[in-house]
Copies of this chain bind each other. A is one copy, B any other.
Amino acid sequence: MATAAIIGTAGYVGQETLDRVLAHPELELVALGSDTFAGQPAARLDPRLDASIPPFVTNADAAASGSDAIFLCLAHGEAAAFEPPAGAVVVDLSGAHRLTDPALAQAWYDAVPGAWSYGLPELYPPQGRLIANPGCYATAALLALGPLAGVTDGAVIDAKSGVSGAGKSLTASSHAGFVLENLSPYAVGTHRHAPEIAQQLGFAVCFVPHLLPVRRGLLATCYVQTDADVRELLDAAYDDCTAVRVLAEGVAPELSRVQGTDTAELGVFTDGATGTAIVICALDNLGKGAAGQAVQNANLALGLEPTAGLRLSGVLV
């Protein structure tokens, strides 16, 4: 049994990480960190958390808990300033340590790359004990395009995400009066996940995200010019992956089948008029796009069962 601490549990990503850690057969939660809730019982966050869960401590106390694994669920700036305790596996769910180019890391996150390794288990398994967990959009785009990196040199990525992707902070664009019965493109051509995707693929991409009127779930529709057999490459890449499912010919991914799970779905199509390859990825921005992948990365670094604690099964309507 390894021990785990969560730092910054009050947000969406922290809560979802807590969900997986509580379900994990090989992780014991020893410190629940939140500067907002320190000193209060876990149920203060959510009435489903009972007295068996440790009460909140400060983030500093959680960091000093001597845990084998630390899940860092802080804002980018706070994560950039975090000092990893010696010996612990640390998974940073923020963007602070994703970009390896110092100029880009500086420009997008005001951060310094340091000794962190990018960890997307199916494609880029984490190296070492400091792991940068990928962005939600980047995870979807990379699952769709990573296996094609050698056979194309450009892509259009049109992505759509539910509102939990932007976190719990109160902004005009997360107000329900703005989101409901709406669809809103944002950060058009200027989103920070674009350089992250490009870094892993090795070529620049055109990336446009849209805010969907759904609570959770993300879908990326990727357009690629290539002569390669795209389905074959994707099938080969994910053949023995339990968390990534390549759908049969003609079947398109949907949010509803991945919401509340740590899985991703991929659909592969060819445009009838132009021959463009179309790869569509659906995942839950809080699951495979955040907390689920973080636990998956920690499992690998700790030498545990790779998908322990994940939400992989079930066929909810």
Find chain B residues with CB under 8 A from A162 CB.
Answer: 180
Instruction: Kindly list chain B residues whose C-beta atoms are within 8 Å of the C-beta of A23.
Output: 313-314
- Among the listed B168, B185, B204, which residue makes an inter-chain contact with A219, where contact means beta carbons less than 8 Å apart? B185
Residues of B within 8 A of A251 (CB): 47
A315 touches B (CB below 8 Å): yes
Chain B residue nearest in CB terms to A46: B315
Encode contact with B along A24-45: 1 for CB under 8 Å, 0 otherwise.
0000000000000000000001
Partner-binding segment picked from A56-64, A67-75, A170-178: A170-178
Asked whether A106 is an interface residue with its Cβ less than 8 Å from the other chain, the reply is no
Known contacts A168-B175, A175-B174, A177-B168: A214-B182 contact under CB 8 Å = yes
B175–A217 CB distance below 8 A: no
Chain A interface residue count, Cβ-Cβ cutoff 8 angstroms: 88
A223-B247 contact, Cβ under 8 Å, with A19-B315, A317-B177:
no
Asked if A156 is at the interface of the complex by the 8 Å CB criterion, the answer is: yes
Neighbouring B residues of A183 by C-beta, 8 Å: 160, 212, 214, 217, 219, 254-255, 282
Interchain CB contact under 8 A, B185 and A273 = no
**Which residues of B are found within 8 Å of A182, using beta-carbon distances?**
214-215, 217, 254-256
Q: List chain B residues, Cβ under 8 A from A214.
A: 180-183, 213
How far is B161's CA from A160's CA once the two chains are assembled, in angstroms? 13
**Contact (Cβ within 8 A) A313 B22:** yes
Give A73 to B145 CA distance when docked, in angstroms. 42
A188-203: CB near B (< 8 Å → 1, else 0) gives 1110001100100000
A86 at the interface (CB under 8 A from B): no
Q: Does A154 contact B (CB under 8 A)?
A: yes
Contact check, B181 vs A179: say whether CB atoms are below 8 A apart. Answer: no
Q: How many copies does the complex hold?
A: 4
A100 within 8 A of B: no
B-contacting residues of A (Cβ < 8 Å)? 12, 15-16, 18-19, 22-23, 45-49, 154, 156, 158, 160, 162-164, 168, 170-172, 174-186, 188-190, 194-195, 198, 204-208, 210, 212-217, 219, 221, 223, 245, 247-248, 251-257, 259-260, 265, 267, 269-274, 276, 278, 280, 282, 286, 311, 313-317
**How far, in whole Å, are A160 and B183 apart by their CA atoms in the complex?**
9
Q: In the docked arrangement, what's the CA distance between A257 and B184, Å?
A: 11
- List the B side residues contacting A172 at CB < 8 Å: 168, 170
Q: How far is the CA of A259 from the CA of B81 in the complex (A)?
A: 37
Cβ 8 A contact of A175, one of B170, B207, B210: B170
Q: Given A164-B177, A176-B179, A316-B16, decide whether A189 and B273 contact each other with a Cβ distance below 8 A.
A: yes
Are the C-beta atoms of B215 and A276 separated by less than 8 Å?
Answer: no
Q: Chain B: which residue is nearest A223 at the CB level?
A: B156
A272 contacts which of B48, B174, B194, B272 (Cβ < 8 Å)? B194
Whether B176 and A46, one on each chain, are in contact in the complex, defined by CB atoms closer than 8 angstroms, is no
A188 proximity list for chain B (CB < 8 A):
252, 267, 269, 271, 278, 280
